[in-house]
Structure 1
Amino acid sequence: MTHNPKHTVEIDECSDNNRPSKISKIEYPNPSYHDGEQEEEEEQKEGMNQHRRIQRYLVAIEYIGTHFSGSQKQLTDRTVVGVLEEAFCKFVGQPVSVICSSRTDAGVHALSNVCHVDIERISKRKPGEVLPPHEPVVVRRAVNHFLQKQNGDLMVIDVRCVPSDFHARYKAQERTYFYRLLSGSEPLSTLEKDRAWHVPEELNLPAMQEACRVLVGHHDFSSFRAAGCQAKSPIRTLDELSVVEVIQSPYFPSVMDRERQIKVADDLHGCGSNAEAVIPVSSSARIDKVRASNEGVGFGKRRYHRCLVVTARARAFLYHQVRLLVGVLKAVGTGNLTIPDGS
């Protein structure tokens, strides 16, 4: 038997030339503790570097929901997430997963729905080479380039870099929904198609506002969720439910525009949180004109409706809760439901 510092070899002593006939096993020396620790540390660093190459982006989008079957991705139907993921895939050259903060149903539009997406920038000229993350403005412009080749009903309005543990859905502080109701006997304008709920009857705005005061707050909203709701509890806190009358316009102002409009009205009137503050001063006289009959309107001029906007704001809603709330407010406004019944 002879010993080699690198491995152990068994010698056949019956052999004339005294050469090894077979190797029973090879035992490589174990690396020292410090060498193993160093290798493990290098692997951790490499893993951290790989992790840093993936950048999470916070993406704000707006869309017209008429031709979307909701926001969540589906196998066969056209959805917001499906179209957005396709645009991102064309941009980065690999599949991505988009997570939205709020789920919207078919036909629901979005002034600003927020989502997040993880992107690893890989060189297209040198496959396998990982490059530094894209700047947010590059992401916005590139994705919009591919979205415009679709129906043009979906657009990225803002992009920000966020930490890897940020989650668009679970980190959302609140969600706000707007419903437009156009009251009047005249047919709805073509430009308002799929943009508002046409109510032929006259709506009692003070009664609707009183119903809002009853419904706002922390309640059991079991009567305001549709079948199929997956929420474990019907208890929700409705932070805001309001109805205001505004000037009818095919352009629906964004949240920022509405806040700016309210601030201007507050500065001019000092009216605080008055619901009528959303009506510009120079246009207040037009409300009375809209309420009056459209008889005598000049040739070629559009006939207007009273435009009421319902705002619902909360951290989370039940399935179809907002549309059911709006349905109750409409019934109160037409007199088909009294406030005690609505509560």
Structure 2
Amino acid sequence: MLSELSNVQLPPHEPGVVRRAVNHFLQKNEGDIMVTDVRCVPPDFHARFKALKRTYHYRILSGPEPLSAFEKNRAWHVPEDLDITAMNRASSILVGHHDFSSFRAAGCQANSPMRTLDELAVTEVLPALYFPSITERSATELLDLDTSRRFSTSSDASDAKMVKSENRREFGHRVRHRCFVVTARSRSFLYHQVRLMVGVLKSVGTGDLTVSDVERILDAKTVTVASPMAPGCGLYLGNVKYDLP
């Protein structure tokens, strides 16, 4: 989880004092989390019901190699190749105001299955334990472009291919997985909605479902027709937006 928000009622204290005090006890007990920000809010504020937008990220690592110890349980490992173009075409079908009953798990306490999905997109990023910013992605693209230029200006194209091939077969070199991040943004989501949508998008990426199948699943309005739900290990709450003073 990248971020989580909660509200508590405390006697008057400076926000910075509260943050340092809570983090002191979290570190003292070797906690795995830390408080990054504290704000004073009106008495009627509620971290769940006052949210204007929520953004979730879901990480998928694609490739036949097993995950390293650093990635295990931090992403969904999909051995097959994924077609990101098809996945984004399928995503566009789900964006908008719909009845998301087909992406609503049993036990959902929401009064209505109607939700407005503002964004659902799949992006390929560096296979690292963070979500690169736009600046970092641009720098990576420039590096890749520079590498391709150096190979293309070589006097012998076959030599360039040989160098690439040898680098791939270098002893001890670990083949990197392709890393895909599914970003979903809405004011609110149904129970397990994001994981169910990712499960369908993954099936589209592997070719088990077509883009037309996604429209059929959405129109069916029953979760029994959806693909198996994506595991929880790849889901991260990225950001929650509020109208704070």
Shorter-chain TM-score tier = 0.7 to 0.9
- Summarize the Cα distance change of 1:286–1:317 in structure 2 as closer, same or farther, 3 Å threshold: farther
Write the distance in 2 (CA, Å) between the matches of 1:286 and 1:243: 25
User: Is 1:321 the equivalent of 2:193?
Assistant: yes
- What residue in structure 2 maps to residue 296 of structure 1? 168
Write the distance in 1 (CA, Å) between the matches of 2:166 and 2:191: 39
Shift of residue 134, structure 1, vs aligned partner: 1.6
CA RMSD of aligned residues (A): 2.4
- What residue in structure 2 maps to residue 157 of structure 1? 36
With 180-189 and 142-151 compared, the bigger mean Cα shift is at 142-151
What secondary structure is seen at the aligned counterpart in 2 of 1:341? Answer: helix
Identify which of 192, 201, 208 aligns with 1:336.
208
Shift of residue 165, structure 1, vs aligned partner: 2.2
Identify which of 128, 137, 140 aligns with 1:280.
140
User: Deviations 1:174-225 (Å, cap 9, x if unpaired)?
Assistant: 1111111111011111100111100000001100010011111111100101
Q: In 2, are the aligned partners of 1:247 and 1:283 still within 8 Å (CA)?
A: no
Q: Unpaired segments of 5 or more residues in structure 1?
A: 1-108, 121-132, 266-276
Normalising to structure 2: TM-score of the pair? 0.75
What secondary structure is seen at the aligned counterpart in 2 of 1:198? Answer: strand
Shift of residue 164, structure 1, vs aligned partner: 1.6
Question: Deviation above 6 Å: which 4+ runs of structure 1?
Answer: 292-295
Write the distance in 1 (CA, Å) between the matches of 2:44 and 2:183: 31
Q: In 2, are the aligned partners of 1:245 and 1:279 still within 8 Å (CA)?
A: no
Q: In 2, are the aligned partners of 1:238 and 1:312 still within 8 Å (CA)?
A: yes
User: Deviations 1:112-141 (Å, cap 9, x if unpaired)?
Assistant: 211111102xxxxxxxxxxxx221111111
Greater RCO, CA 8 A, separation 6+: 2
Among the aligned pairs, what percent are the same residue? 62
Write the distance in 2 (CA, Å) between the matches of 1:332 and 1:278: 27
Amino acid at match of 1:173: L
Amino acid at match of 2:204: V
Write the distance in 2 (CA, Å) between the matches of 1:175 and 1:307: 22
Write the distance in 2 (CA, Å) between the matches of 1:309 and 1:286: 25
Q: In 2, are the aligned partners of 1:183 and 1:198 still within 8 Å (CA)?
A: yes
Amino acid at match of 2:38: V
Write the distance in 2 (CA, Å) between the matches of 1:213 and 1:173: 22
- Summarize the Cα distance change of 1:158–1:190 in structure 2 as closer, same or farther, 3 Å threshold: same
- Summarize the Cα distance change of 1:304–1:134 in structure 2 as closer, same or farther, 3 Å threshold: same
Amino acid at match of 1:135: E
Amino acid at match of 1:298: E
Write the distance in 2 (CA, Å) between the matches of 1:199 and 1:307: 10
Identify which of 6, 10, 13 aligns with 1:119.
10
Q: Unpaired segments of 5 or more residues in structure 2?
A: 149-163, 216-245
- What residue in structure 2 maps to residue 212 of structure 1? 91
User: Is 1:188 the equivalent of 2:78?
Assistant: no
User: Is 1:249 the equivalent of 2:128?
Assistant: yes
